[in-house]
């Protein structure tokens, strides 16, 4: 499965799901990096996404961290909404 959500792409195969993030390189080309995964359920996938984003934040104050968390939660809401709308649920064997 492949679902585009803004700069993110929800993906799955028969065994797991993950989130890729598109970004622009210095040379102007678009590239993709892993934002979260590999997870057997949407719940653990979003938890992985949140953890990776928080740990990679470059916040240097409580206010910056709160703003980063606000943006992360907005992204998580959008990813969750798209996943539910597209029946992107627990991977079943």
Does the residue 71 lie in any domain? yes
Does the residue 12 lie in any domain? yes
Does the residue 92 lie in any domain? no
Least confident of 18-22, 41-45, 67-71: 41-45
Does the residue 90 lie in any domain? no
Cα 23 from Cα 35, distance rounded (Å): 11
pLDDT, tens digit, 9 for 90 and up, residues 21-51: 999 999 999 999 999 989 998 889 999 999 9
Does the residue 93 lie in any domain? no
Q: Which domain holds residue 71?
A: 2-85
Asked if the model's pLDDT at residue 93 lies above 50, the reply is no
Asked if the model's pLDDT at residue 88 lies above 60, the reply is yes
The reply to whether omega before 38 is within 30° of 0 (cis) is yes
Does the residue 80 lie in any domain? yes
Q: Give the count of domains, the chain.
A: 1
Does the residue 91 lie in any domain? no
- Claim: this prediction has a pTM higher than 0.85: no
């Amino acid at each position: 499965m492949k679902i585009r959500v803004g700069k993110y792409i929800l993906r799955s195969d028969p065994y797991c799901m993950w989130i890729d993030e598109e970004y622009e390189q210095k040379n102007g080309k678009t590239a993709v990096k892993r934002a979260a995964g590999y997870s057997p359920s949407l719940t653990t996938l979003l938890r992985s996404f949140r953890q990776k984003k928080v740990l990679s934040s470059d916040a240097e104050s409580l206010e910056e961290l709160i703003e980063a968390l606000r943006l992360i939660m907005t992204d998580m809401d959008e990813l969750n909404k798209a996943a539910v709308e597209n029946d992107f649920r627990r991977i079943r064997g």
